[in-house]
Structure 1
């Protein structure tokens, strides 16, 4: 087992205490932490900047393959960027054993406020490789991962797990999931996140509110609940039903980054939010890939475009085309100050490992599903284009699109 000297790692800023955030938000008027989910492709630093302006108190990075992060500088550069204002942030890793998770956690420790183990990705590639929900088949392995990582990181540093309900008949599923949650608490987990479905259930299946409520009653550490959050009212209702300490949104916050701002009455993305995104993309410069910038606008603004405009928008290939489109069609353009005021990004420095585990895969040759071409389209965007091309109605809520395949993590 590799153990890095934490005291010698570059400390960019003080770590936020995640438990204090739960306590502070519990005492607030709404009573829970508003959380943005870990979404591959989309939970990047620039999006985290945006959603924090609309009430998000705890943001996750995209899910990162721990093995690639350990062995590939290119993977680190591509998958994680941060800045001094990126706080609080939790890095989520997909890992298959204690070595992968604990070493990746130590490497990223100086730059985040916590690490999270993904046990929620329901996709077949992840399960077959032992990632995501595949770990839930071996609860003892999940316990070992958390125990091992807790031994090598300070007690004040957050270590958490994102789970789905364990498989089985309803009563057995609740019992076994509650037992695992209790064990993870004893192993040193700071908080847990539960998605209210099993690995085999689809997004169209109802959430198991009873199970989430029982888990909350059975543990002392904070619990975040996840599933079906499309609006502020949905978040309030799920909190009221479960008494959870936090509510996490995924698809809903992509469609409306202002979802958690209870002072905004609109159910759709407000114009000012699009304005802020254009400003952020301008200040980010080359640090944000065109695909990411473009796709976020697809999620946010597609319901405001008729078919002809959607077809035009889908075929853009550079930022300037997008800027011109929004200025001509909607009178929105980056503020002048954003052109001369670029963001400062933290230069992340990772120490070399003392020993290399030669049994690990070559991170430059990732497993199927672990990576993608940054210039390719995701599943959702391709399906969106197909719908436009066939003149199929695309409703405002995007309920007719199955987004599950667009992400490498268990989403709502």
Structure 2
């Protein structure tokens, strides 16, 4: 009994650490002053922005130390999706070193990446993805994202500093699209939990979080985040429909609406007037470079407005191969029906988050980031893909 309590306590610590990691993941604004000239935040926020990366590294190390007993007992690690994504980022690090020759940066990035991948590979993969009662990955990530959104809203509403530029919310991130994507993650998770929750008090909490997330998406004026949130929530609703015929009709209607919207849009509508580069220019630049099919890439440099093209340009055909193999593991979940009734809810949330990440990556290159809430969500999805795809129910792995 005593041993069981210790295991539970360690599990709770890991969940709290995950919440902290998600919360700190997007505290970054190193270059914001170069183009948002009157941006400023209080000194204590600046300290968190500068210290977020080492703090996350410490949390990762602590989480691995806490979980080392469980990891030593369970050696059945077969999570190839995480491994391939790790190799992809290793290629990015090496490519970056080739171009900047910064050995200290190379060592730090390698250590951080190794801690991060081991955390998701060995610790997160063994934690419950979603349970209605008790702690789960989904709830831990929700709290991290919600607290982050609240921090940005408090700064904005309280006029604590100046976190707006040209009518768009920067918050504590380095770009409106980044805080917008965090808002889309928060409102998507809040909607899923609200849909599944039974208690009135919890419903009110998740409802407030959903409104806060949507508000941040609106304040950031990030169409990427709005489209990603809308499609992910729509996917969750459709996947939650048990009637196969009704679900098929819903998917068809959603596809028709999507095609209609695409037909009404032009490339100019996704440009942001007043910004130095536009998607029309950056997509053309990325496409030209990607179609050259470079064997080795040029690292994280240049346009980043499409994660899939950017992966080819940054890591080359050799490195991006690992990226697309890891991605293919998750894509299989979208088209694989979950026949285990005990895992349907968790699977639907998983699919919803995956749609959000896949959609956002069409417009942003965040999957190539070393740190950030969206890329950490993708690491989590990779870590849980095997247990989600399995029909077998396991309360510690679902």
Class of the TM-score when normalised by the shorter of the 2 chains: under 0.3
Q: Report the structure, 1 or 2, having the larger strand content.
A: 1
After TM superposition, the score normalised by the length of structure 2 is: 0.26
Q: Report the structure, 1 or 2, having the larger helix content.
A: 2
Structure with larger RCO (C-alpha < 8 A, sep 6+)? 2
